[in-house]
Amino acid sequence: MSFDIHYDILKKRTLHGKKEVINVKNYDIAAFIWPSYTGDEPRTRIFWPEGYGEWQTVKAMTDRGYKGCRWPRKPLWGYVNEADSRIMEMQIDCAVSYGVNVFIYDWYWFDNRPFLENCLNDGFLKAKNNNKMKFYLMWANHDATYLWDKRNSDNDLSTVIWQGAVTPEIFSDICDRTIEKYFSRENYYQIDGCPVYMIFDLNNFIRSFSTTAECKKGIELFREKTVKAGFKGLHFQVVHWGDRVFNDLSEDDINKGIDVYRLYDYLGIDSVTNYNWGGSVHFDGDYKELTDNYMKSISGSSEKLNIPYYPNISVGWDNNVRFNKFIPGVVENNTPENFRRACEAVKAFADEALGKGIMTSPLITVNSWNEWTETSYLQPDDLYGYGYLEAIKDVFL
């Protein structure tokens, strides 16, 4: 049985109403990686001039006294350079031992070239033990603003430093480069023999082609290129940002006013997931309540979909690390114990979805491995130690 469908279905099955529920082992737990914790990319100095990436912002955060503030926090591993293969060898060993067996790398294309690839290219892919786990790409195709620059973030988030949208010609080049440089790796993550490629911002992706009809052609071209390279096909995944209606399309777009579920069908999207729970619920308040709200949201959304909805487990949310003034939206009580409860709820959803054939692969995404400035990370800190990783291990291994 291949890596991508290697789950072990237990012999004992139970019936939930008329629908079979399967208890699944060996899920693919895929954690997002924010590749900013390095100074190896010269253009990061625009945002973090001290030269070691967004660790600069993390180190500067203090207890500012707002409700739910749990800062300062310190990484137990130190402010390490994740573009160092030796560092990533340690992190890979740790991740796998706790049940995280896939990394999803946030991947960027700004200023007509890749951005922040060092963590992937020089860290993960040069790690001697990277064969222990799979990886795939999420093109984080949002605009780059002063969000990453704490000196300016309070007053200016409207200025676009680099646009996330590209041209159809550049996207074609991105496809070629992705297939050659990443899909060709033996440990690139696949579903049913097809490399998985995720898009963060569907709106911006459509803008790269002007219309949804041209966008569909762009996806089809990517599929053709992938098959030509010797693969069975392409698994094109997008981040689901709730029940949207696409009213902001151009006037002559044939899909103007369509809801997101019909647009997924039109474009030929293969599956959806979340980057974090903020795509489905108002991400503020008590973590246990947010867990319940998220489970209700994805249950409702999955019923409207004709494609798999791979669920997400979010560790938390507090983006105030990137600002000097208080920004509303703080998740409270996201303790390892409550996080474990969330893992159990998501696993129950996934077990049932696999049993009903709604999910075709045992994939669950996690936000995230190292989103320190969004206060949503599995990596150990001086507050909870390895508590979040222990929860993953207890539920999924």
How confident is the model over 160-203, as pLDDT tens digits?
Answer: 999 999 999 999 999 999 999 999 999 999 999 999 999 999 99
For the cut 90, the answer to whether the pLDDT of residue 385 exceeds it is yes
The pLDDT value recorded for residue 22 is 62
Per the prediction, the chain carries an average pLDDT of 94
Q: Residue 121 to residues 172, 181, 236: CA-CA distances in angstroms?
A: 21, 9, 22
pLDDT band at 20 (very low <50, low <70, confident <90, very high): low
Q: Residue 261 to residues 174, 189, 346: CA-CA distances in angstroms?
A: 26, 25, 22
What pTM was computed for the model? Answer: 0.94
Determine the Cα–Cα distance for residues 152 and 5; give it in Å rounded to an integer: 46
What's the rounded mean pLDDT across residues 196-212? 97
pLDDT digits (tens, 9 = 90+) for 297-318: 999 999 999 999 999 999 999 9
For the cut 60, the answer to whether the pLDDT of residue 1 exceeds it is no
The pLDDT value recorded for residue 24 is 76
The pLDDT value recorded for residue 21 is 56
pLDDT band at 137 (very low <50, low <70, confident <90, very high): very high
pLDDT band at 14 (very low <50, low <70, confident <90, very high): very low
Structurally, at CATH architecture level, domain 3-396 sits in: Alpha-Beta Barrel (3.20)
pLDDT digits (tens, 9 = 90+) for 110-136: 999 999 999 999 999 999 999 999 999
pLDDT digits (tens, 9 = 90+) for 55-77: 999 999 999 999 999 999 999 99
For the cut 50, the answer to whether the pLDDT of residue 32 exceeds it is yes
Angle, vertex CA 223, rays to CA 115 and CA 267, nearest 5: 90
Residue appearing with tokens 């079979």 = 20
What's the rounded mean pLDDT across residues 358-371? 96
